[in-house]
Amino acid sequence: MGDALRVALAGLGTVGAGVVKLIEENRALIERRAGRPIAVTAVSARDRTRDRGIDIAGFAWHDDTAELAMRDDVDVVVELIGGSDGPALSLARRAIAGGKHFVTANKAMIAHHGVELAGAAEAANLALKYEAAVAGGIPVIKGLREGAAANEIGRVYGILNGTCNYILTTMEREGRDFAEVLSEAQALGYAEADPSFDIDGIDAAHKLSILASLAFGTALDFDAVAITGIRELVAGDIAEAAALGFKVRLVGLAEANGKGLFQRVHPCLVPADHPLAHVQGSLNAVVAEGNYVGRLLFEGRGAGEGPTASAVVADLIDIARGEYGPAFAMPVASLAHLPPAPAGERRGRAYLRFTVADRPGVLAELTAAMRDANVSIESMIQRGQSGDAGGDDPVLLAMVTHVGPERCVTDALARLEGSSSLAGKPMLMHILDL
């Protein structure tokens, strides 16, 4: 056995405590696999007195997280405090500048500053590892960077946020509305007190931008991700999707082609026989399509103490073995800078839901807007009052389009903007015909 790999740990929340527990509980196995011991030597967190269920007496304590990067008895700094900037980014820069390998679970920081940090680590011949930043314990980063390295990846997509998937699959199973299920998810700890990053699609977009860079050899471009969350979904959308043979999932999708890099996080209708339709609860799943390996599906728990700690320690084992290369599978100088690919010419089907007044002429107005925008309607369902009610109480009207350019659907919705027939903003979901 060689000398121990000495680790400084910034953040002792659920995941940080899990890392300590995992290293202790699986110590013998980890040493055999790493070829040397892995030992935590120093830690930093907000509250020294908090009971975390672990013994920290043997670790050097620092109130100032940045001090971890300056210790002589540290080989690797692990960052688990979160945030795209602030203390996390400062620690990352200091650790690499100080000759320390760096491991993080921070998808926001990697999405915004990954190229900078990768370049610095590469220049210093240091590891920048972030397996835990995307899909928790699912080894999708390693799978794309190493296992599929010989393949040209045509597309990468998946369910990247467990909170949203829990909400959607609960709505699907129990027929309840979004707000009620969100409150329950918060009570159970599946959703944060402020769930905006999750339900508005930002968390999934951070992860998608990282996957896109790995899959296509492109520079990270989080700002180019088109993002729509699940706030506006109602139980009726889930029911209509089921009636049409689909499940609703928040899907992140990225493709690189001659027109640029396309990245979008959007609620989609997924065919009931597609693998993503069977991903339930808080699970994550990622699909990558390689030109030689074919379709790869990675599925599992995307968050939580055990899965995330497992990914962090797996990165530490790689570093202990000396197995690390460029953070994004190729040198930073080789990453392509592609323009954002426009969505307008993408062809596909779409689901459109309108909440409308139940009175004569409304249906004619909607179908005229579709006709004038060259949108062909495949099917249509109306739920609510009977057609002879003649009142203004809103009803739900859903339609599915035939395959066509996305710009035509956008044009149709623009034609209906401000219409007195609409009782709310229309809901658009693309259909995942992959």
- pLDDT for 134 equals 94
Domain range for 415: 347-431
How many other C-beta atoms lie within 10 A of the C-beta of residue 73?
A: 11
Residue 87: inside a domain: yes
Number of domains in the chain: 3
What's the pLDDT band for 389 if we cut at 50, 70, 90?
Answer: very low
Q: Which of 105, 133, 161 is the last residue in one of the domains?
A: 133
Residue 410: inside a domain: yes
Higher local confidence (pLDDT), 304 or 200: 200
Residue 322: inside a domain: no
Clarify whether residues 152 and 280 are in a common domain.
yes
The Cα–Cα gap between 401 and 430 comes to 10
Residue 46, Cβ density class (10 Å: 0-12 exposed, 13-18 middle, ≥19 buried): exposed
For residue range 97-114, what is the model confidence (pLDDT) as tens digits?
999 999 999 999 999 999
- The contacts of residue 111 (CB under 8 Å, 6+ apart) are 84, 205, 206, 207, 209, 210, 220, 222
Residues 416, 428 contacting (CB under 8 angstroms): no
Q: What is the mean pLDDT of residues 337-363?
A: 91
Clarify whether residues 200 and 289 are in a common domain.
yes
For residue range 173-224, what is the model confidence (pLDDT) as tens digits?
999 999 999 999 888 888 888 999 999 999 999 999 999 999 999 999 999 9
- pLDDT for 387 equals 46
Dump the DSSP string for 361-413: THHHHHHHHHHHTTPPEEEEEEESS-TT--S--EEEEEEEEPSEEHHHHHHHH
What's the pLDDT band for 385 if we cut at 50, 70, 90?
Answer: low
Tokens of 329: 């599978």
Hey, which residues are catalytic here?
Answer: 207
Location of structure tokens 């520079």: 219
Q: Cα-flanking dihedrals φ and ψ of residue 255, to 5°?
A: -140, 145
For residue range 4-44, what is the model confidence (pLDDT) as tens digits?
999 999 999 989 999 999 999 999 999 999 999 999 999 99
Clarify whether residues 129 and 228 are in a common domain.
no
Q: Domain containing 398 — which CATH number?
A: 3.30.70.260
Clarify whether residues 39 and 68 are in a common domain.
yes
Q: What is the mean pLDDT of residues 55-84?
A: 93
Clarify whether residues 373 and 261 are in a common domain.
no
Residue 307: inside a domain: no
Residues 221, 158 contacting (CB under 8 angstroms): no
The Cα–Cα gap between 391 and 385 comes to 9
Burial 380-397 (b: 16+ CB within 10 A, else e): eebeeeeeeeeeeebbbb
- pLDDT for 77 equals 98
- pLDDT for 302 equals 81
Q: Cα-flanking dihedrals φ and ψ of residue 289, to 5°?
A: -115, 110
The Cα–Cα gap between 290 and 298 comes to 14
Q: Which of 301, 336, 364 is the last residue in one of the domains?
A: 301
pLDDT of 358 > 90? The answer is no
Clarify whether residues 120 and 152 are in a common domain.
no
For residue range 242-256, what is the model confidence (pLDDT) as tens digits?
998 999 999 999 999
Clarify whether residues 218 and 118 are in a common domain.
no
Q: Which of 244, 266, 301 is the last residue in one of the domains?
A: 301
Location of structure tokens 């960052």: 79
For residue range 256-288, what is the model confidence (pLDDT) as tens digits?
988 899 999 999 999 999 999 999 998 999 999
Residue 232: inside a domain: yes
What's the pLDDT band for 124 if we cut at 50, 70, 90?
Answer: very high
- pLDDT for 384 equals 65
The Cα–Cα gap between 296 and 32 comes to 30
Clarify whether residues 174 and 122 are in a common domain.
no
The Cα–Cα gap between 159 and 342 comes to 22
The overall average pLDDT reported for the chain is 93
The structure's pTM equals: 0.94
Q: Domain containing 21 — which CATH number?
A: 3.40.50.720
Residue 316: inside a domain: no
- The contacts of residue 125 (CB under 8 Å, 6+ apart) are none
Best CA proximity match to 75, nearest among 24, 26, 36, 19: 36
Residue 177: inside a domain: yes
Q: What is the mean pLDDT of residues 70-77?
A: 96
Residues 248, 267 contacting (CB under 8 angstroms): yes
Clarify whether residues 27 and 108 are in a common domain.
yes
Clarify whether residues 291 and 382 are in a common domain.
no
What is residue 136's three-state secondary structure? coil
Clarify whether residues 294 and 181 are in a common domain.
yes
The Cα–Cα gap between 111 and 63 comes to 27
Clarify whether residues 90 and 204 are in a common domain.
no
